[in-house]
C-alpha cells in the first residue's frame, strides 16, 4: 500500500542558517493518529509546514500519496492544501465577526464543491463537533473550546485525507482541551488520519503513535 506520507532524510535550514530539521525519516499510513512530540524549538512546526505544503524542505525526500513534493505543480499544491489537508491551529484562526456557519464555509470558496451542497455539508460537520445549536452565533461570542471545535469542523468540510493539529489545546483550559482531544480521537475512530503536534506528553498520549523529535532529529517512534 502506498503510504500517505513518506519522508527520508528531511533537512530544513532557514536562510539565517538555523538548522531546524537535520535529517528526519518516517512513514505515515492512511488512518493513523500520530503525535509529533518534542520540546519547544525542536522543529515540530517546521516539519508541519513542510508536510502541509506550506514551505519546501532544503533537502531530502517528501512524498505525499506516493508523489514527490517537487512534482506537484503550483495549482496541484493549492488543490491538495485546500481539499486533501485540514489544518487546526493553537490560535483557532477564526473570523470573529462571522458566524460559525460562515467560518466553516471558508475552505469551500476555494474548492470545487457546488454551492447547493454547502449547507448540508456544513450542518453535518457542525453536528460532528457538537455545535449545531451555535451555528448562527458569531465566532467571538464562543468559548475557547467551542472556537477550536469550529476550527475542527472547518478542517473537515472538504473531506480531507489528513488533518493537521498544531498544539490544538495550547490555548484551552484542561477540560476544554480534553474535550478537543476526545473529539480528535472520535474522528480517528471514524477513519480520519490525524497528525497532532504537541510539546505535551499528556496530550500526545491521546494518539496511537508518537514520533519524538529533538534538535531536528527523530529520537524515537513508539506505539501508544
Ligand atoms: N522562519 C524561521 N527562520 C529562522 N529560524 C526559524 C524559523 N522558524 C523557526 N525557526 C527556528 O527553527 C527551530 C525550530 O523551530 P520550530 O520548528 O518552530 O520548533 P517547534 O515548533 O518545535 O517549537 C528553532 O530554533 C526556531 O527558532
Ligand atoms: Mg511550534
Provide the pLDDT confidence category of residue 167 given band limits of 50, 70 and 90. Answer: very high
| Strand-strand pairing, 5-13 and 162-166 | unpaired
pLDDT for residue 1: 81
**Average predicted confidence (pLDDT) for the chain:** 95
Domain of residue 172, CATH code: 3.40.50.300
What's the domain count of the chain? 1
Q: Are 35 and 210 in contact (CB under 8 A)?
A: yes
For residue 176, what are the domain limits?
Answer: 5-223
Query: Which three cell numbers, joined as nine digits, stand for 157?
Result: 468540510
- Which residues lie below 8 Å from residue 59, measured CB to CB, with a gap of 6+? 9, 10, 11
Biggest CA–CA distance in the chain, Å, is 50
If you measure from the C-alpha of residue 44 to the centroid of ligand 2, how many angstroms do you get, rounded to a whole number? 5
CA–centroid distance, 145 to ligand 1, in Å, is 27
CA distance 117 to 63: 32
Quick one: which atom of ligand 1 is closest to the CA of 45?
21
pTM attached to this predicted model: 0.94
Taking residue 23's Cβ as centre, other Cβ atoms within 10 Å add up to 15
Ion ligand 2: residue ranges with CB closer than 5 A: 44-45
Each residue of 13-64: pLDDT tens digit? 999 999 999 999 999 999 999 999 999 999 999 999 999 999 999 999 999 9
pLDDT tens for 184-204 read 999 999 999 999 999 999 999
Between the alpha carbon of residue 118 and those of residues 9, 11, 14, the distances in Å are: 41, 40, 40
Cα 42–chain centre separation:
18
Q: Give the pLDDT band (50/70/90) at residue 69.
A: very high
Give residue-wise pLDDT tens across range 123-153.
999 999 999 999 999 999 999 999 999 999 9
Residue range 173-178: mean pLDDT, rounded: 95
Q: Using alpha carbons only, what angle is made at residue 153 by residues 55 and 109, rounded to the nearest 5 degrees?
A: 65
Determine whether the shortest distance from the Cβ of 160 to ligand 1 is under 6 A.
Answer: no
Residue 210 has pLDDT above 90, yes or no: yes
First to last CA, the chain: 23
Of all protein residues, whose CA lies closest to atom 18 belonging to ligand 1? 45
Amino acid at each position: 500500500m502506498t503510504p500517505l506520507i513518506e519522508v527520508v532524510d528531511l533537512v530544513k535550514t532557514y536562510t539565517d542558517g538555523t538548522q531546524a530539521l537535520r535529517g528526519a525519516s518516517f512513514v505515515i499510513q492512511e488512518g493513523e493518529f500520530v503525535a509529533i512530540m518534542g520540546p519547544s524549538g525542536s522543529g515540530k512546526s517546521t516539519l508541519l509546514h513542510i508536510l502541509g505544503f506550506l514551505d519546501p524542505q532544503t533537502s531530502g525526500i517528501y512524498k505525499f500519496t506516493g508523489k514527490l513534493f517537487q512534482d506537484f505543480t503550483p495549482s496541484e499544491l493549492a488543490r491538495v492544501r485546500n481539499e486533501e489537508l485540514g489544518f487546526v491551529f493553537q490560535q483557532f484562526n477564526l473570523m470573529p465577526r462571522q458566524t460559525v456557519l460562515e467560518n466553516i464555509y471558508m475552505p469551500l470558496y476555494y474548492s470545487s464543491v457546488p454551492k447547493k451542497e454547502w449547507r448540508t455539508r456544513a450542518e453535518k460537520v457542525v453536528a460532528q463537533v457538537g455545535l449545531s445549536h451555535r451555528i448562527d452565533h458569531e465566532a467571538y461570542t464562543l468559548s475557547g473550546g467551542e472556537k477550536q471545535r469550529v476550527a475542527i469542523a472547518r478542517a473537515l468540510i472538504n473531506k480531507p485525507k489528513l488533518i493537521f493539529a498544531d498544539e490544538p489545546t495550547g490555548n484551552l483550559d484542561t477540560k476544554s482541551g480534553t474535550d478537543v482531544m476526545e473529539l480528535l480521537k472520535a474522528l480517528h475512530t471514524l477513519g480520519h488520519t490525524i497528525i497532532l503536534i504537541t510539546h505535551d506528553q499528556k496530550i500526545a498520549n491521546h494518539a496511537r503513535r508518537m514520533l519524538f523529535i529533538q534538535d531536528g532529529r527523530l529520537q524515537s517512534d513508539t506505539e501508544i
